Amino acid sequence: MSDKRSIIITGAAAGIGRATARHFARRDWFVGLYDIDGVGVAQLAEELRAVHGATSITTGELDVTDPDQFNDAVQAFIAVSGGRLDVLFNNAGILKMGNFDQVDPALQRKTIDVNVNGVINGVAAGLDALKATAAAHGDARIINTASASAVYGIPELTVYSASKHAVRAMTEGFSIEFEPYGIHVSDVLPSYVDTGMVKNQEHQTEGFKASGIAHTPDDIAKIVWRAAHGEEIHYFGNKQLSRMDKLARLFPGYVRRQIKQSSGFE
């Protein structure tokens, strides 16, 4: 196997994925850029290759809801990474703000398909390569992008919130299942990030209007870097969210009231 550590990033064309790609490439990792936006990852690859060299970057167009495409992407990646897959970063996701009865049900189902099944497909496709890397080098990682909405269900984001609760649950379960293989599993849970996916919403939730942008993509890329080297299961975007998570488990009624107030439902 190669001596250079490697990472697959889904949803790499923009936002958190793009910032994470830059962060890891600067630190001499072999970076695989995958996104349904093939033009976007090609442009990012051109930028990174100009700085870090052609041998450090590979790309592919990937719909994470297609398990065959994901399998092919992983096989193509390890063919050029020296057989290594140190980190699988399941980051691809979609978001639509609005009351449930104001959003097309087809889009709600797509949210589950991308945000939940995309993680399942990624883990299924990458697990053998992660096992082999952990066996050879003593460590491999799965990092999933969850959300602050995985702390407590959020109105006007209900299906999205449910998808991120599922990601959190998978993170916790996989972290136990895969520990014997030397694979550490964790997630990152940011609040609203300064990305097009958030800012370009036709309808902005009252909660978003009240709280606003909490992080830059670079902020979250730094947290992903910590997750690639740390031992925690959940990496929260800030201390306030970590405290809210503890409160949601101890005093769910209090957190519910706070969310209702901030979301304009009282």
- Catalytic positions are 160
Structure tokens at 259: 């969310």
Specify the DSSP element, H or E, that contains 175.
Answer: helix 158-177
CB within 8 Å of 259: residues ≥ 6 apart: 152, 154, 155, 207
Structure tokens at 265: 């439902």
90 SS3 class: strand
Q: ∠57-62-66 over CA atoms, to 5°?
A: 145
Q: What CA–CA distance (Å, rounded) separates 105 from 46?
A: 38
